[in-house]
């Protein structure tokens, strides 16, 4: 009894209609009240009342522009959102990132702070996240903006309370991240949410990326681990408990290299950041385990550009494993496009040819339309950008901002 049209309860109707109006203006601005009524099927009185309310909250504003057409000239509406901001953060292998956007999707700030996440304790990471969040909050509230919320992306399992039962890539077990962050921010009522970084990254792709029109889209994180954020028919695939997209441990070869999950030959054991650096740079710049990956990835890229044969061979081999993993994923969820993120995007020019060949080879009936594999254009901050986008979601769903906040 779940598919088909959903009856709404009365309390939701006004919020839903508000969301429909906001969305129409986002997609079609500038537009008039009459346009909104015509295209949404809402009656004009309802539209007028909703628009008045949204103007009152400065989520919409009138422009001086009027349309010349038969009938009365109309006052045109555009998105406002000037008094608001939303924050997103991500915890990558060697940095913390914070992004702020306004409700129109404009980027207000993007800060990347080096941090050795893989050797820090969860407590140290939370403290560093909170410090970075406070600086960002202070910056945007200093611009006179109310901050609607903060969403943090984590490479691991995240439950509905914003706790992290397991983030193997970070060595985290049972970290009540949302609660701890609210405490560290000393703002117990501030809306902090936590999500899997891949889910946030694909949300950023959908809204801000180069394939925003693709309804069936996957973003493969190449940050600390390899997770898939999966959008199907325009909606994020969340699953029963929110634990979707665990592709890093799809088995490619049970006799392959050991994986930190305890098995062998998982996708991450070939193409995860630590595995890739180990295999391509058997003689790393330092003797200790690598914790700062960006310079190592830069070295790999420089060697690849210089045509170093062992690095090129290693990247092609990694590409083949990636293509294999993508083929398994594509067989289950059949995306139109899979985008490589994080360090996989940085190395994409050398990974993609072999990855695409392997994917085509393993696709059933590839001539019926295979899966397109490409690099993300969002840089290494897709999850943070998606987090900020997610933090706008209550507004976009038609809920009004609290009158105090930020």
Query: Quick one: 138 or 368, whose CB is closer to a second copy?
Result: 368
Strands 217-220 and 228-232, how do they pair? antiparallel
Nearer to a second copy, 223 or 337 (CB): 337
Binding flag, residue 373, a second copy (CB under 8 A): no
Interacting residue with a second copy among 176, 209, 229, 245 (CB under 8 A): 245
Residues 204-223 that bind a second copy (CB under 8 A): 206-207, 212-216
Contact characters 6-35, a second copy, x per CB under 8 A: -xxxx--x--x--xx--xx-xx--------
Piece of the chain touching a second copy by CB under 8 A; list 94-102, 106-114, 165-173, 177-185: 165-173
**Separation CA 381–CA 377 (nearest Å):** 10
Residue (73 or 234) nearer to a second copy, CB: 234
Going by C-alpha positions, the residue among 238, 256, 226 that lies closest to residue 341 is: 226
Provide the minimum distance between the beta carbon of 393 and a second copy in the complex, in angstroms, as a whole number. 8
| Residue 150 or 168 having the CB closest to a second copy | 168
Q: Which stretch binds a second copy (CB under 8 A): 39-47, 126-134, 276-284, 294-302?
A: 39-47
Binding status of residue 281 toward a second copy by CB under 8 A: no
- The CB-of-358 to a second copy minimum distance in angstroms stands at 13
Compute how many residues bind a second copy; rule: CB under 8 A.
Answer: 80
Q: Of 150 and 252, which CB lies nearer to a second copy in the complex structure?
A: 252
Tell me: does residue 106 bind a second copy (CB under 8 A).
no
Q: Which residues between 327 and 346 bind a second copy (CB under 8 A)?
A: 328-329, 331-337
State yes or no: residue 262 binds a second copy (CB under 8 A): no
What's the min distance (Å) between Cβ of 149 and a second copy?
16
Which lies closer to a second copy via its Cβ, residue 43 or residue 286?
43
Note whether 160 binds a second copy by CB under 8 A.
no
Query: Is the Cβ of residue 265 or residue 314 nearer to a second copy in the bound state?
Result: 265
379 binds a second copy (CB under 8 A): no
| Binding of residue 243 to a second copy (CB under 8 A) | yes
Between CA 304 and CA 32 the distance in angstroms is 54
Contacts of 13 (CB under 8 A, 6+ apart): none
Residues 300-329 that bind a second copy (CB under 8 A): 328-329
Neighbour-count burial for 355-382, b at 16+ CB within 10 Å, e otherwise:
bbebbeebbeeeeeebbebebbebebbb
- Nearest distance, CB of residue 307 and a second copy, angstroms: 32
Using the rule CB under 8 A, is 398 a contact of a second copy? yes
Torsion of CA 111, 278, 275, 122, to 10 degrees: -50
Site for a second copy in 42-101 (CB under 8 A): none
Q: What phi and psi values does residue 332 have, to the nearest 5 degrees?
A: -85, -45
How far apart CA 7 and CA 159 sit, in angstroms, is: 27
Among 74, 131, 232, 400, binds a second copy (CB under 8 A): 232
The binder of a second copy chosen from 104, 251, 353, 405 (CB under 8 A): 251
């Amino acid at each position: 009894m779940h598919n088909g049209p959903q009856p709404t309860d009365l309390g939701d109707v006004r919020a839903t209609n508000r969301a429909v109006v906001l969305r129409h203006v986002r997609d079609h601005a500038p537009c008039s009240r009459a346009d909104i009524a015509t295209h949404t099927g809402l009656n004009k009185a309802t539209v007028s009342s909703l628009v008045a309310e949204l103007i009152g909250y400065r989520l919409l504003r009138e422009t001086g522009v009027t349309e010349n057409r038969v009938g009365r000239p109309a006052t045109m509406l555009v998105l406002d959102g000037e008094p608001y901001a939303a924050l997103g953060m991500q915890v990558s292998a060697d940095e913390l990132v914070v992004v702020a956007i306004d409700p129109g999707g404009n980027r207000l700030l993007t800060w990347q702070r080096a941090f050795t996440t893989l050797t820090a304790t969860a407590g140290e990471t939370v403290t560093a996240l909170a410090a970075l969040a406070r600086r960002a909050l202070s910056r945007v509230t200093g611009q006179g903006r109310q901050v609607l919320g903060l969403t943090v992306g984590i490479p691991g399992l995240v439950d509905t309370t914003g706790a992290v039962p397991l983030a193997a890539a970070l060595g985290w077990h049972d970290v009540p991240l949302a609660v701890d962050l609210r405490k560290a921010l000393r703002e117990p009522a501030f809306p902090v949410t936590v999500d899997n970084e891949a889910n946030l990254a694909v949300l950023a792709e959908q809204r801000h990326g180069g394939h925003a029109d693709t309804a069936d889209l996957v973003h493969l994180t190449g940050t600390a681990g390899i997770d898939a954020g999966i959008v199907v028919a325009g909606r994020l695939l969340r699953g029963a408990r929110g634990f979707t997209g665990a592709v890093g441990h799809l088995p490619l070869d049970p006799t392959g290299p050991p994986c930190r999950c305890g098995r062998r030959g998982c996708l991450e054991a070939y193409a995860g950041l630590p595995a890739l650096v180990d295999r391509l740079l058997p003689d790393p710049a330092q003797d200790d385990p690598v914790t700062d990956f960006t310079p190592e990835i830069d070295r790999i890229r420089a060697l690849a550009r210089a045509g170093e044969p062992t690095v090129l061979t290693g990247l092609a081999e990694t590409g083949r494993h990636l293509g294999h993993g993508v083929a398994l994923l594509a067989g289950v969820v059949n995306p139109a496009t899979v985008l490589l993120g994080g360090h996989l995007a940085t190395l994409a020019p050398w990974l993609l040819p072999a990855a695409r060949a392997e994917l085509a080879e393993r696709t059933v009936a590839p001539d019926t339309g295979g899966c397109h594999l490409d690099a993300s254009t969002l840089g290494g901050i897709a999850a943070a950008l998606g987090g900020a986008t997610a933090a706008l979601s209550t507004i976009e769903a038609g809920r009004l901002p609290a009158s105090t906040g930020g």
